[in-house]
Structures are given as structure tokens and as C-alpha cells.
């Protein structure tokens, strides 16, 4: 069976010259960044042996809020959130912003 015709609508539209509006591109990038941050938070929380409730206490949030962050559902990703996470998880947060998109977030230099 030939599956080459099974292309994503977005890929097909791009071939046909469709360009997503800038606000859609920005929202898609924000969602991707939130998912990346969520994975970092989960990995570091587990490495520290914290429960979601324990991290929530450090953040002044509920365990449901921590779950939302870990699932990438805490939007928008704000500077305040990043500062709070850095303190609670004892890390530095490095954000690399690129004008064309594909911004990155990383944890580094685990603080003492």
C-alpha cells in the first residue's frame, strides 16, 4: 500500500503557498516551548525526589498547577514562572530566543 499521499494538511497547504498568520506561528511556538519546559520540570522534580505537591509547596502553587506545567499546559510561559521554577528546582534557566522561531529552554548549573 502506498501511503505517500497521507500528508499533513499543513504540509499540503505549505506546498500550495499557504502561509500561517504570524499569531498562529507564535502560538504554536509558545505551545512547543511550554512542552519542552514541562519535560525539564518533570525530569528535575523526579531527580530531586519531589512529588508534585512538594514542588507545588516550593512554588506556592497546587499540585494541579505543577501537573499543568509538566504537561505543557501552563501558558503563557512567563519570566515570573521561569524565576520561580529556577528557585524551586535549584537550577539556572537558559532561554534562547530566535527571531525566526524554534526558541529553546534549558536547565543548567544546578544551584547549590
Q: Tens digits of per-residue pLDDT, 5-51? A: 556 776 777 788 888 888 888 888 889 999 999 999 999 999 999 99
Q: What is the pLDDT of residue 110?
A: 67
CA gap 103, 32 in Å, rounded: 9
pTM: 0.79
Q: What is the pLDDT of residue 41?
A: 97
Q: Tens digits of per-residue pLDDT, 75-103? A: 888 999 999 999 999 999 999 988 777 88
Residue 33 burial by Cβ neighbours in a 10 Å radius (0-12, 13-18, 19+): buried
Q: Is 31 inside any structural domain? A: yes
Q: Is 16 inside any structural domain? A: no
Q: Is 1 inside any structural domain? A: no
The CATH number for 98's domain is 1.10.260.40
Per the structure, the complete domain to which residue 82 belongs is given by: 21-108
Amino acid at each position: 500500500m502506498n501511503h505517500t499521499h497521507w500528508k499533513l494538511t499543513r504540509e499540503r497547504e505549505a506546498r500550495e503557498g499557504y502561509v500561517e498568520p504570524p499569531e498562529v506561528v507564535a502560538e504554536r511556538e509558545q505551545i512547543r516551548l511550554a512542552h519542552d519546559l514541562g519535560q525539564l520540570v518533570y525530569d528535575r522534580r523526579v531527580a530531586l525526589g519531589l512529588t508534585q505537591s512538594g514542588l507545588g509547596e516550593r512554588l506556592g502553587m497546587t499540585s494541579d498547577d505543577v501537573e499543568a506545567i509538566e504537561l505543557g499546559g501552563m501558558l503563557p510561559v512567563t519570566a515570573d514562572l521561569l524565576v520561580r521554577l529556577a528557585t524551586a528546582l535549584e537550577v539556572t534557566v537558559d532561554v534562547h530566543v530566535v527571531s525566526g522561531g524554534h526558541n529553546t529552554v534549558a536547565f543548567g548549573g544546578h544551584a547549590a
